[in-house]
């Protein structure tokens, strides 16, 4: 899948996947101290500052940066954090949110008026079957509302992908940092509106070093390190060799949730993961495989 990557570059990519996957556990821990919208607002506050002092604004229109910041900050992570507060386990959240790959392909097809191909229908069917397995096993830890919210987060993520593609070739780390400026105001406004000032100030005053470290990890580990290394790899290797490694995020997510939080890994979760991951693998890898056999 990534045979063309030098060993050190492959290890760097795997480390990013481990960071992004295990971050779902860190989010779950942080949500015990911060309400979800406040946590998202804090994440983007520290992703923006002080990094903005070190990174030049990418040469893209302000509306593009604003759209990306709102879609990814408010849409993807706002909805994801709300869902993970009480309506979905970290392991399943890391799996369901990866359906953004399917939505990204569907949106791309719609925008460019491309013909839907058979392998794309098969990929969508497998992913939907996996979601169906999850829906039939909802309980007190995972609810239909939680699944719907994470699917909404995946749609927001895929919409953000469309916006970032329109920006062209840019420094992705700088792009994410500057776009964070536009995620901060709506997240804080929604937090005050929906979570209330009393809860906000109480959580800020009572949070210890652990929760604040989790907030810092959201900004430094996931944004600065993750996007920085990922963008560096994509600038040096074909996307077809790098992008499929993102399929490992839910693997790390489910494993870390089981090992650290004790989330049960029942047979139906494994089946759901195989179905969803199978759909994602077909959607990403099939064109490359077909091209190889057509030579």
pLDDT digits (tens, 9 = 90+) for 123-145: 778 877 887 888 777 766 788 89
pLDDT at 202: 92
Q: How confident is the model at residue 110 (pLDDT cuts 50, 70, 90)?
A: confident
The one-character DSSP state at 196 is: -
pLDDT digits (tens, 9 = 90+) for 246-275: 778 888 888 888 888 888 878 888 888 888
- Residue that wins the pLDDT comparison between 116 and 68: 68
Question: Alpha-carbon distance 140 to 155, whole Å?
Answer: 25
Task: Give CA–CA dist 99/76, Å, rounded.
Answer: 12
Better-scored residue on pLDDT, 27 or 120: 27
Share of the chain above pLDDT 90, in %: 27
pLDDT at 181 over 90: yes
Exposed/middle/buried for residue 108 (C-beta within 10 Å: 0-12, 13-18, 19+) = middle
Most confident of 34-43, 173-182, 247-256, 261-270: 34-43
- Which of the residue ranges 8-17, 22-31, 230-239 has the most confident prediction, judged by mean pLDDT? 22-31
pLDDT at 65: 93
Q: How confident is the model at residue 291 (pLDDT cuts 50, 70, 90)?
A: low
Residue length of the chain: 295
Q: Are 217 and 26 in contact (CB under 8 A)?
A: yes
Please spell the DSSP secondary structure of 161-174, one letter per residue.
HHHHHHT-S--HHH
Phi/psi-derived region of residue 5, left when phi > 0, alpha when psi is between -120 and 50, beta in every other case: beta
pTM comes to 0.82
Task: Give the Å distances, CA to CA, from 7 to 227, 234, 244, 293.
Answer: 20, 15, 16, 26
């Amino acid at each position: 899948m990534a045979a063309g990557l030098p060993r050190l570059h492959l290890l760097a990519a795997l480390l990013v996947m481990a960071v992004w996957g295990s971050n779902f556990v860190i989010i779950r821990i942080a949500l015990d101290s911060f309400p979800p919208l406040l946590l998202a607002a804090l994440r983007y506050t520290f992703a923006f500052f002080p990094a903005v002092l070190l990174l030049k604004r990418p040469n893209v229109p302000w509306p593009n940066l604003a759209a990306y910041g709102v879609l990814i900050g408010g849409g993807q992570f706002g909805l994801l954090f709300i869902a993970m507060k009480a309506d979905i386990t970290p392991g399943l959240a890391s799996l369901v949110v990866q359906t953004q790959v399917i939505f990204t392909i569907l949106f791309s097809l719609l925008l460019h008026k491309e013909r839907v191909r058979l392998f794309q229908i098969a990929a969508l069917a497998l992913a939907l079957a996996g979601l169906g397995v999850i829906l039939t096993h909802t309980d007190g830890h995972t609810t239909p509302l939680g699944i719907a919210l994470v699917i909404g987060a995946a749609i927001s993520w895929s919409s953000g992908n469309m916006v970032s593609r329109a920006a062209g070739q840019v420094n992705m780390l700088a792009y994410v940092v500057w776009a964070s400026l536009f995620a901060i105001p709506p997240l804080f406004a929604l937090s005050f509106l929906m979570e209330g000032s009393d809860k906000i100030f109480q959580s800020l005053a009572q949070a210890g070093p652990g929760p604040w470290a989790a907030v810092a990890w959201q900004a430094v580990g996931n944004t600065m390190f993750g996007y920085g290394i990922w963008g560096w790899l994509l600038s040096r290797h074909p996307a077809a060799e790098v992008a499929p490694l993102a399929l490992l995020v839910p693997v790390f997510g489910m494993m870390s949730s089981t090992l650290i939080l004790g989330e049960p890994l029942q047979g139906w979760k494994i089946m759901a993961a195989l179905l969803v991951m199978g759909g994602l693998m077909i959607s990403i890898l099939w064109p490359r495989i077909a091209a190889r056999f057509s030579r």
